[in-house]
Chain A
Amino acid sequence: MEITNYLGLAAILFAIGATTVLLRRNAIVVFMGVELMLNATNLAFVTFARIHGDVTGQVLAFFVMVVAAAEVVVGLAIIITIFRSRRSASVDDVNLLHS
């Protein structure tokens, strides 16, 4: 098996995450799609670190994880705030600025 198979898996997971962001209506599920995309890039980072024999890729994946954790905190807090005021977690219902 070639190591680049891992990159293929990462690409498929990334595309599924992106499709989730495009298609799903529930804000929390959309957020999980973003997380899936970040995880897919991490897999690519780790694979490239192995291909090039350099742990810098792993360090960058570590940074991605930390930033993702911070992003989740803020994003979920925003979702809760929106849910409190609108009683809905659907991304389509947030159209206060519309017209």
Chain B
Amino acid sequence: MTASSAEAALFWVLAPLMVLAALGLLFARKAVHAAVCVMFVMVGLAILYVAQEAPFLGVVQVVVYTGAVMMLFLFVLMLVGVDSADSLTETIKGQRWLGVLLGLGLVVVLLGVIAQAAFPPAVGLAATEELTNPVALARVLLGDYVLAMEVVGVLLVTAALAGLVLTHRRRLSVRPTQRVLAAARVAALPQGRTLTPLPAPGVYAQNNAMDTPALGPDGEPLPHSVPRVLRIRGQERSATAVLAEEETLVTREDLRLLGVGPAADATVEQVGDPVATGTTDEGTGDEGPGDERSGDVDGEVR
């Protein structure tokens, strides 16, 4: 039995893309890129399952692998640190070439076996599935393999327990109380720590992103209102640039409203100032939940 031409087209489109994505797992420097590549391979496999008369497995593939397993991988990547790129230094001499050689050898051997083997003429699953694919699967699963099914259930419960036990952290020190924390905070005052939470990033008319510093009561930008991570990476924006951008927008809007004339300049002065001071108030006076968040980020890094 040969596949239909539609299936052949699907296969020849999907298979090279899947192999490319799988190679992405091999060559991507960052683990997150590798995870995305594997996700693509898994979705492609689900499509191939559906094409191969296994719609139930296709759905399970998407739900279990793409939905649960790869999400778990991404969670662990977030815990371990997304930035940790692989080091490329060889610790075992010749390991890389040996690995490539073994991989190529495996491909050659497997493909050779498949090419040499004589397969019986494919019959397809249409005859065995009286009703639908899930029903046929359930008959076998709960008939011939019911004991294995039970054992797998026990395995899953054990694995869940193992996950809990392995990631459980025993507390080695006394849990710090609020009083202890307060005392520590006051004691750190000479080192430049503040008693209050750190100020939130600035909120402007056009911009309330985390990377823009707030303005203090004196109109000067407060650098510590931007999360420390962004500051270290040099990704913070300057408040003066944001304000200048807004001012040009205001100017342009005024010119558009009044029509371009000699009086436009005077009105710009009038309108421009209150807006600037207004944003200043907003930026510094905001004591919302964002405040705590920036403090949290700082605490993590420290």
B156 in contact with A18 (CB, 8 Å)? no
**Contact in complex: A16, B76 (CB < 8 Å):** no
Q: Chain A at the B interface: mostly helix, strand, loop or mixed?
A: helix
Interchain CB contact (< 8 A) of B103 among A15, A52, A69, A92:
A15
Residues of B within 8 A of A73 (CB): 72, 159-160, 162-163
Number of A-B residue pairs having CB atoms within 8 Å of each other in the complex: 236
In the complex, which residues 122-156 of chain B have their Cβ closer than 8 Å to any Cβ of chain A?
A: 122-125, 127-129, 133, 136-137, 140-141, 144-145, 148, 152, 155-156
When the two chains form their complex, are residues B69 and A72 in contact, meaning their CB atoms are under 8 A apart? yes
Number of interface residues of B (CB under 8 A): 87
Dominant SS among interface residues on chain B: helix
Nearest-Cβ distance from residue B156 to partner chain A, whole angstroms: 6
Check if B2 sits within 8 Å of A1, measured CB to CB.
yes
Q: List the B side residues contacting A66 at CB < 8 Å.
A: 64, 152, 155-156
Chain A 35-68 interface residues, beta-carbon cutoff 8 Å to B: 35-36, 39, 42-43, 46-47, 49-56, 58-59, 61-63, 65-68
A21 to chain B, nearest CB (A): 9
Q: Nearest Cβ in chain A — how far from B68, in angstroms?
A: 7
Cα A25 to Cα B30 with chains together (Å): 11
- Please state if B128 and A58 are interface contacts (CB–CB under 8 Å): no
Size category of the A interface is 35 or more
A55, B129: Cβ atoms closer than 8 Å:
yes
Contact between B11 and A1, CB atoms less than 8 A apart: yes
The complex places the Cα of A3 from the Cα of B119 at a distance, in Å, of 10
Contact A1 B7 (CB under 8 A): yes
Contact indicator B159/A70 (Cβ below 8 Å): yes
Q: Which residue of A lies closest to B102 (CB)?
A: A22
What are 24 A-B interface contacts by the 8 Å CB criterion?
A: A4-B114, A9-B11, A13-B18, A16-B22, A19-B26, A23-B103, A28-B76, A29-B25, A49-B54, A50-B124, A51-B123, A52-B123, A55-B128, A56-B144, A58-B133, A59-B137, A59-B140, A65-B64, A70-B155, A72-B69, A74-B163, A77-B162, A80-B76, A80-B79
